[in-house]
Amino acid sequence: MLDAKLTSKSHSHHQTIIKLTADITVGGEDLLIIGGPCAVESLEQMEAVASQLATAPIQALRGGVYKPRTSPYAFQGLGLAGLEILKAVRRRYGLPVVTEVMSIDQIEAIAESVDLLQVGSRNMQNFDLLKALGEVNKPVLLKRGLAATIEEFVCAAEYILSHGNSQVILCERGIRSFDPYTRNVLDLGAVVALKQITHLPVIVDPSHAAGKRELVPDLAKAAIACGADGLIIECHPEPEKSVSDARQALSLEEMVELVQSLRPIAAAVGRRVLNKSKVNASTLRQSFRALQAQRPVKSQKGKT
Ligand code: PEP
Ligand code: MN
């Protein structure tokens, strides 16, 4: 492998464990399961996700506030207002949060607000962004480029490490191929190879790979069975109404079911799904109801 000085394993058991919080890690025995919508749409949406999934249990929340969309006319994300929403749910539910950083000028605000900075597929070889993230003292989730080779992927991670940040998590999210039935092709061979070559944690995004919600749970199970250190999965309180990637979003109930179904597979490969939520399910439900009750009823002024 070309110039993978810092990402390559130095011996066969060499494995980096990255801490998102004091309790939540990735790369060790505990799986990191990240759930949430493609895009942050409102505080209510994120409250619903966090309150229902904290005890699923997921170990981190996702939600994009800067969205790399194919069309410039599509929803581009809530930006800083979305970041405030992420900060609020992070505080209230004690769950670490991940969001995408698209440019160098966004790094400071995002690094101050969240626990894990995502580099999207479209930016995997944005070398200036990678170098700048090398100077940040926060973990980075690096997604594989749409058509990146394993070597290019590893070299992209090497950029971040060689600029000083060794907290990099790799994410396989499917690669382009000829068949439009699935949005991308989930390359589990790459997961096995990356686990053999590098000491970095490797997680899988079956949502962007499949593009269809009905394919997500089985691909998630396959990913854990082949040695992935975790998953990042899109889910939404009202999946069909998602502003982006609606077709691949699971409902929150489906997400809970999926997390539970991973337990025996995790156990079979020597891993576990950690249940370390700081709050229990009934406290979460009460807190969500209290929040809803506090909301001002919409003004009826102007209506006849
Ligand atoms: C996302 O996670 O919402 C996303 C845009 O993913 P990717 O960069 O893998 O397309
Ligand atoms: Mn998405």
How much is the pLDDT for 110? 98
Q: Which residues does ligand 1 sit against, CB inside 6 Å?
A: 38, 64, 68, 120-122, 143, 173, 205, 208
173 Cα nearest atom in ligand 1: 9
122 Cα nearest atom in ligand 1: 8
**Which amino acid, 156?**
A
CA 246 – ligand 2 centroid, Å? 9
The number of residues in the chain equals 304
CA 283 – ligand 1 centroid, Å? 32
39 Cα nearest atom in ligand 1: 3
Residue bearing the CA closest to ligand 1, atom 9: 121
Mutate to test the pocket of ligand 1, among 86, 114, 118 (most ligand atoms within 8 A of CB): 118
Mean pLDDT of all residues in 232-260: 98
pLDDT digits 0-9 by tens, 74-111: 999 999 999 999 999 999 999 999 999 999 999 999 99
CA distance 155 to 176: 19
CA distance 193 to 197: 6
The residue among 139, 131, 133, 135 whose CA lies nearest residue 114 is: 139
Q: Which ligand ends up closest to the CA of 144? A: 1
Mean pLDDT of all residues in 182-203: 98
How much is the pLDDT for 113? 98
Q: Indicate if the pLDDT at residue 285 is higher than 80.
A: no
How much is the pLDDT for 3? 87
CA distance 216 to 208: 9
- Pick from 37-41, 209-213, 246-250, 300-304: least confident: 300-304
How much is the pLDDT for 2? 75
CA 10 – ligand 1 centroid, Å? 31
- For residues 212 and 300, which has the higher predicted lDDT (pLDDT)? 212
Q: Which ligand ends up closest to the CA of 205? A: 1
CA distance 55 to 112: 26
CA distance 228 to 295: 41
pTM of the model as a whole: 0.92
Mutate to test the pocket of ligand 1, among 40, 71, 100, 119 (most ligand atoms within 8 A of CB): 100
pLDDT digits 0-9 by tens, 28-66: 999 999 999 999 999 999 999 999 999 999 999 999 999
Q: How confident is the model at residue 288 (pLDDT cuts 50, 70, 90)?
A: low
Q: How confident is the model at residue 304 (pLDDT cuts 50, 70, 90)?
A: very low
Q: Pull the structure tokens for residue 250.
A: 């699971």
| Per-residue H/E/C for 86-108 | HHHHHHHHCCCEEEECCCHHHHH
Fold of 18-277: TIM Barrel (3.20.20)
How much is the pLDDT for 284? 59
List the chain domain ranges: 18-277
Residue bearing the CA closest to ligand 1, atom 3: 38
What percent of the chain has pLDDT above 90?
89
Output the DSSP codes for the chain: -TT-TTTB-SSTT----EESSSS-EESSSB-EEEEE-SB---HHHHHHHHHHHTTTT-SEEE-BSS---SSTTS----THHHHHHHHHHHHHH---EEEE--SGGGHHHHHHH-SEEEEPGGGTT-HHHHHHHTT-SS-EEEEPPTT--HHHHHHHHHHHHHTT---EEEEE--B--S-TTSSSB--HHHHHHHHHHBSS-EEE-HHHHH-SGGGHHHHHHHHHHTT-SEEEEEB-SSGGG-SS-GGGPBPHHHHHHHHHHHHHHHHHTT-B-----SS-HHHHHHHHHHHHHHSPPPP-TT--
pLDDT digits 0-9 by tens, 113-144: 999 999 999 999 999 999 999 999 999 999 99
Q: Indicate if the pLDDT at residue 203 is higher than 50.
A: yes
Residue bearing the CA closest to ligand 1, atom 8: 120
Residue bearing the CA closest to ligand 1, atom 10: 121
CA 121 – ligand 1 centroid, Å? 6
CA 208 – ligand 1 centroid, Å? 7
**Burial (Cβ within 10 Å: 0-12, 13-18, ≥19) of residue 207:** buried
Q: Indicate if the pLDDT at residue 303 is higher than 50.
A: no
Q: Indicate if the pLDDT at residue 296 is higher than 70.
A: no
CA 247 – ligand 2 centroid, Å? 10
